Amino acid sequence: MKELIGDEFQVGRGKICLVKGDITEIETDAIVNAANSTLMGGGGVDGAIHRVGGPKVLEECKRIRAAEWPDGLPTGKAVITSGGNLKAKYVIHTVGPVWHGGNRGEPELLAEAYRNSLNLAVSRRLKTIAFPSISTGAYGYPIEKASRVALTTVKEFLEKEDKVDKVEFVLFSAYDLKVYRGAARGLL
């Protein structure tokens, strides 16, 4: 169950909201899956989205792999499927970078994952989108650094693009929410 926390920031014509909760419970046009390159599900957010979304999401991912990305979805790219059994209408799957110390293009690749997800949402005329904290789980990206990349990228996107009404960051733990709140205070 999501817990609204009241952290909402106006950026251009859109809003950035910080929410503590479970991304699989969010009613929105699209949720973003912090996927692995196989698109076949995994642990963390990816596994939860596939479990709740059900077989339709997996079948669509298999078709995308066969038709477009036979070697796997590259880091920073994004694709879209229906939401299956989720409350969200669509799932945008993106692959964030694995953290290797920050000197292998991780910030740029993480920003690309957010930007490509937002561009895909706009191309489908989606108005609301919810992100998890991409790459900060099993991929080991320090959340303090990742939150700044995420918020800066979304802020810059909303300043230039007026077709997205709301971007939510759905954070699973109180600690993650605290980190994003601190980053937002300095950036938004």
In whole angstroms, give the CA distance from residue 111 to residue 135. Answer: 11
Q: Name every residue whose Cβ is closer than 8 Å to that of residue 186 and which is 6 or more positions away in sequence.
A: 148
Q: Chain-wide mean pLDDT for the chain?
A: 95
Q: Name every residue whose Cβ is closer than 8 Å to that of residue 169 and which is 6 or more positions away in sequence.
A: 16, 17, 18, 19, 130, 131, 132, 133, 150, 151, 180
Residues annotated as catalytic (active site), given as ranges:
46
Q: What is the pLDDT of residue 125?
A: 98
Question: How do residues 120-141 score in pLDDT, each as one tens digit?
Answer: 999 999 999 999 999 999 999 9
In whole angstroms, give the CA distance from residue 100 to residue 156. Answer: 26
Angle between the 106-123 and 143-160 helix axes, to the nearest 10 degrees? Answer: 40
In whole angstroms, give the CA distance from residue 186 to residue 11. Answer: 14
Closest CA to 76 of 13, 153, 12: 153
For residue 3, pLDDT beyond 70: no
Over range 25-38, report the average pLDDT: 97
Sheet with 90-95: list strands edge to edge.
Answer: 3-11, 14-20, 166-171, 128-131, 30-35, 90-95, 78-82
Domains along the chain? 3-187 (3.40.220.10)
Question: How do residues 76-134 score in pLDDT, each as one tens digit?
Answer: 999 999 999 999 999 999 999 999 999 999 999 999 999 999 999 999 999 999 999 99
